[in-house]
Structure 1
Amino acid sequence: MTRVAGGTLTQRVVWALTGTVALFVTALALLAYLTFDQMEDDLVNDILNTEMDRLVQHARSGDEFLPQRGARELGGSMRAWLKADGQSPPGIPAQILALDNGLHLLETAEYTWHVMVADTGRGKVYLMYDASDNEQRVRDFGLFVLGVGAICVVGAYALSRRVAAIAVGPLLELTDRLSTWAPGSPDLAVTRDDEAGRLIEAFNRVQNQVDRSIAREREFAGNLSHEVRTPLAAIRSDSELMLLMQDLAPGQRQRLERIVDSVDDVIVSLETARAMARDQLRAPEPVDLAACMQDAWRGYEAMARAAELRFENHIPEGRVRELDRYALLTVLRNLVRNAVEHAAPATLRASLTAQGALELRDDGRGIDSADLPFLFRRYYRGRLRDAGGAQAGDSARGLGLAIAKRVCDMQGWSLTVASEREGERHGTCFWLDLDGATDRRA
């Protein structure tokens, strides 16, 4: 594997969240620092304006509020000088004396002065505010904000690790489960060395295992069909030869006919299973719907007679469709078997709707409405709660209708069901819509 730039997915989530918080905290700290610094400067300038107005008024009134020699102390941080008759007052810094009228800011490594200069009728007034202590407080505030920001970033990093663990945790858990389920090495190269790469690698291994399982299933279906066909053909041919004998008792003839029908049922099941395993459709052929329905019924005629299920085939003769005969037989036989096991005693009627769909309707006990949405699920046996126990066969194990639905899905057919338990139309009705099959009359 080649390592992805930026580290693992967890690390990228952590750094992304931490970087976002750090950027936000930095911007907020810088804004707070600049705002505090500007507030300090504005406050000092307001003090200078107020004090200068007072000094100018005193200077114009003619009293001796401002001495002409030396500085007047106006507090611990503020002093004023009066320059009259062109003579510079003693003690005034040369940097201040060279300033013009207005507000000025003088900054060096040693001090920070706010100076205001104004003319009066008696001379020029210089007012200075030493803001060195204020600037120190501003710097202390900046250090405090920086420390709080650093704490926030550290906290954000710890929180980001927790969030990343929660966000990436399910991905890692899924990866571990897939790795346990499908160990080994993937066939495809994975170019990532992070959580996503591990998940892709695990999915590749799962895909390999699924492919191998499908291949084994197809191989098994092919081998079974090949190995069983020969003995089945022998059984069927011997049974047909024995049926030609004239001295057979009625019971013997009935059993031989049942053997032939059962062999045909096994052959149909094998062909359908092989097609489902390969997920490939067989070539369509002309199929007479009435004859196919009769063949499907013949395989369960003895069981139906014992269960008191009568059959009426109202499908018009000569109605031919181009489709897979084995697939249609599989569906119809499962529907007939379902009626034998769960509808009897009743009458099963097969017919065609006005739209050309096959309809199999019985007047049996019906199906509970709560079971209808799950009727085609594998191993679903909800209907058996009212059937008085399990029967032998796939339907009793919840497979018959599921197989029929699977075959219909492969062929592009539609299989639907409706059922009522009360009223004159009580019973169950299945509709098999052979949409896509070519319809023609013989």
Structure 2
Amino acid sequence: MIDNGKKRSISWHITLVLTGLVTLAVLATLSLTFFVYLYIEANMIEELIQTESERLSVRVSRNRSEWTRPFEREMAPTMFAWGESDDMPALSLPPELRNLPDGMHQLDRGESTWHVVASPLMDGRLYVLYDTIILEKNWQSFLRALIGILIGCSILTMFVSGAVAKWLVNPLNILTTRLMRWVPNFPVADIPHANESDRLMYVFNRVQDQVDASIADQREFSANLHHEIRTPLTVIRSDAEVMIRSLGESNNFRSRLERIVKSTQDISQSLESTFSLAYARFDDVAAIKIHPCVQDAYESLQLEATNAGLSFVNATKPEHVETLSRQALMTVLRNIIRNAILHAAPATLVVESTSFGLPLTDSGPGIASSDIETIFERYLVVHE
């Protein structure tokens, strides 16, 4: 299927890819940074409350073997400690802490997390708790800052990538502009919705069309010149030879007639050489795969085919191989596809593999039956 929509430019694709890659790299870096921050934070809290629990255990149990009164202390706005026994309960101790086994624990409280270490002490237990409510607000602010950095880097990358993309694509645009100068009366508006590569291919095809047309004109001129001059030269040479035979050996005009015969012979040989060079073939015949060759011929004219509404189906077999000149086959295929673009579109052109050749069939209006017998005549104009 052919996409008839607008094609994005190569610059746009380069900008998009570079921006996406940099954004992904920054996102991965910031995500790793954020999770490392959370991991380090959790380890610091656990190390803090473990250290504080050991310090309090030594301090509270000095010279004592049992709790004589409950221990309740707020060591910081978010850090608390309780010590109690069955006979001396701490009234401010959260009830859910009493059911915790000894060791380190994390309790989810919705807006924050409690990090708790419970340990046996004297005839009871010691609890040290750290509430992360303030840290939760801090890491949320940190997360917003990371998101801001990501957005800022993406925007900056988009502008930088745009400049880099223009720099990378600029040689294509320069080449396209130079080729356009070689094509007379070539309006830029003839290339609608095309990206840089399509524009270059389109202009290159126009230049190649002119080269092909020039070669065809040269060959036609050589053929006409060969035909128009060869006959009079033959007549001149024949008459001169007849006149030489009718004159005597001592006639003064004999040398001039012989010179005329020699000159006509030289001119005839020059015409034959020119004609041979014009129609010379320098083909490298080899075994080639037909399928990629047909595909290359169409892709060189794809933009023009798309604009004209010509769909293309390459139904040749991948294993189809022929021994011939690839350049000659490409020339023929391009001419047929170009004719289908000009005279059959909108239509569908199908190329198939057969044992007797390479048929190309289109669904266009076709040729009237009365014109079929004369379509190969020179300068024929078929009226639609």
Q: TM-score, normalised by structure 1?
A: 0.56
Which residue of structure 1 lines up, in the alignment, with residue 197 of structure 2? 196
Which residue of structure 2 lines up, in the alignment, with residue 91 of structure 1? 92
Identity, % of aligned positions:
34
Q: CA RMSD in A?
A: 3.2
| Conservation of the 8 A alpha-carbon contact between 2:6 and 2:194 | no
Tell me, which stretches of 5 or more residues in structure 2 are unaligned?
283-384
Aligned-partner SS, 1:134: helix
Aligned-partner SS, 1:71: strand
1: CA distance between counterparts of 2:184 and 2:125? 93
- CA deviation after TM superposition for structure 1 residue 14, in Å: 1.3
2: CA distance between counterparts of 1:67 and 1:134? 35
Query: Which stretches of structure 1, 4 residues or more, deviate above 6 A after TM superposition?
Result: 64-67
1:247 aligns with 2:242: no
AA aligned to 1:120 is L
1:133–1:112 CA distance, 2 compared to 1 (3 A): same
Which residue of structure 2 lines up, in the alignment, with residue 367 of structure 1? none
1:255–1:50 CA distance, 2 compared to 1 (3 A): farther
Aligned-partner SS, 1:17: helix
| Conservation of the 8 A alpha-carbon contact between 1:236 and 1:260 | yes
- CA deviation after TM superposition for structure 1 residue 81, in Å: 0.3
2: CA distance between counterparts of 1:146 and 1:113? 27
- CA deviation after TM superposition for structure 1 residue 149, in Å: 1.7
Aligned-partner SS, 2:12: helix
2: CA distance between counterparts of 1:66 and 1:76? 25
Which residue of structure 2 lines up, in the alignment, with residue 212 of structure 1? 213
AA aligned to 2:250 is D
> Higher relative contact order by CA 8 Å / sep ≥ 6: 1 or 2?
2
| Conservation of the 8 A alpha-carbon contact between 1:3 and 1:192 | no
| Conservation of the 8 A alpha-carbon contact between 1:6 and 1:12 | no
Aligned-partner SS, 1:127: strand
Aligned-partner SS, 2:267: helix
AA aligned to 1:150 is I
| Conservation of the 8 A alpha-carbon contact between 1:191 and 1:197 | no
1:169 aligns with 2:173: no
Larger Rg: 1
Which residue of structure 2 lines up, in the alignment, with residue 264 of structure 1? 265
| Conservation of the 8 A alpha-carbon contact between 1:229 and 1:267 | yes
AA aligned to 1:215 is A
Deviations 1:196-230, CA, capped at 9 Å, x for gaps: 22223223322322222122111100110111112
Deviations 1:20-53, CA, capped at 9 Å, x for gaps: 1111111111000111111111111111111112
1:66–1:123 CA distance, 2 compared to 1 (3 A): closer
Q: TM-score, normalised by structure 2?
A: 0.63
1: CA distance between counterparts of 2:62 and 2:127? 18
1: CA distance between counterparts of 2:83 and 2:59? 12
Aligned-partner SS, 1:61: coil
- CA deviation after TM superposition for structure 1 residue 177, in Å: 3.3
1:209–1:225 CA distance, 2 compared to 1 (3 A): same
Q: Superposed, which structure 2 residues align to 1:302-317 within 5 Å?
A: none
1:64–1:73 CA distance, 2 compared to 1 (3 A): farther
2: CA distance between counterparts of 1:143 and 1:174? 47
2: CA distance between counterparts of 1:6 and 1:66? 82
1: CA distance between counterparts of 2:18 and 2:26? 12
The total of aligned residue pairs comes to 277
Which residue of structure 1 lines up, in the alignment, with residue 133 of structure 2? 132
Which residue of structure 2 lines up, in the alignment, with residue 48 of structure 1? 49
- CA deviation after TM superposition for structure 1 residue 70, in Å: 5.0
